[in-house]
Structure 1
Amino acid sequence: MTEAPRSYPARPILAASIALFRNGKVLLGERARPPGQGLFSLPGGVVELGENLEAAVRREVFEETGLEIEISAFVRHHEVIARDETGAVRRHFVVAVFAGRSEHGEPRLSEETLSFHWADPVELDGLALTDGLADILVAARKAL
């Protein structure tokens, strides 16, 4: 099966991510490539055909970080819509965001991530974040 294009897609792309907490801090990954290169975001990625959301977020987190996770709650959905200079939709993702925990091990870098940071979800240490992430973290803390 051919993977649908992520740039200028024919329809929105479904993805899943998770706010992973440990000792009051949340795991943020610095993106290694566009879009959002250099910005911090939650681990996650695209849902594969036939895969449920929780399975997708577990797989994506393991692929990106090597961590096993415990999912506590569904937080909300988040939409990412980017248009080009003509108004055409360049990207459209609908992300199912979960909250959970990862109690053991440290994340390992992958080709998708330049660095990881266990951040205070309230102060965020002046990190450059993807759009909407601060609000997502507030909701995720309440969901735990």
Structure 2
Amino acid sequence: MTRPVVATIAALFKRGHVLLVRRANPPDAGRWGFPGGKVDLGESLEDAAVRELAEETGIQATAKQVFTAVDAFDHDESGVLRHHYVLVAVLCSWVSGKPLAGDDALEARWFPIEQLGSADLALSLDVEKVAKLGAQIHSNRAFELGF
């Protein structure tokens, strides 16, 4: 029996913007989503998120907290389920670097949070919802820490 695959997504915010990558590979090739990928055996969720963020964007960050999880289903053309991913969102804090697409990303860019609802921006499922939740938590953490 095939089981879901655990993966992380790195939610990184800076000055009212969120970092997204345009995916090169399925699922959701060509769509914008969070940098992320599969968790390696023995790797923590936080370490996986930071590693994937660096591999896909060149940005160095620290993991702050796990804040939500979403399902991602990959179906073939006939509707048969190929993969089921459980994406665990990790709030990260920027340390250094500028977005530069790498690994399996076609592009990497900062987007204003309010632009995510725009019809002309092809987002992966749940990206807007997760980004808004992450931005709210990020804002609360920044306020609490005096940033």
* TM-score (ref. length: structure 2): 0.83
- Kindly report which structure 2 residues correspond to 1:26-65, keeping only aligned pairs within 5 A, or say none: 26-65=18-57
Question: Do the aligned partners of 1:15 and 1:93 also contact (CA within 8 Å) in 2?
Answer: yes
- Work out whether residues 50 and 92 of structure 2, in 8 Å CA contact, stay in contact via their aligned partners in 1: no
Matched position secondary structure for 1:96: strand
Counting matched residue pairs gives 136
Please list the CA deviations of residues 10-33 of structure 1 after superposition, one character each: whole Å capped at 9, or x if unmatched. Answer: 110000011111111111111122
2:127 aligned with 1:133: yes
Q: 1:110: which partner in 2?
A: 102
In structure 2, stretches of 5+ residues that fail to align are 139-147
Aligned-residue Cα RMSD (Å) equals 1.9
In structure 2, give the amino acid aligned to 1:109: A
Structure 1: 5+ residue runs without aligned partners? 1-8
Q: Could you tell me which of 62, 76, 84 is aligned with 2:68?
A: 76
Provide runs of 4+ in structure 1 moved above 6 Å: none
Identity of aligned residues (%): 33
Q: 1:85 to 1:36 in 2, by over 3 A?
A: closer
Determine the C-alpha separation between the residues in 1 that align with 2:33 and 2:57.
13
| Contact persistence 1:74–1:143 (CA under 8 A) | no
User: Would you say the 8 A contact 1:16–1:95 is kept in 2?
Assistant: yes
Q: TM-score, normalised by structure 1?
A: 0.84
Contact 2:6 2:39 in 1 (8 A): yes
1:85–1:118 distance in 2 versus 1, CA, 3 Å: closer
**Cα separation, 2, equivalents of 1:51 and 1:111:** 19
Work out whether residues 22 and 103 of structure 1, in 8 Å CA contact, stay in contact via their aligned partners in 2.
Answer: no
* Secondary structure of 2:8 counterpart: strand
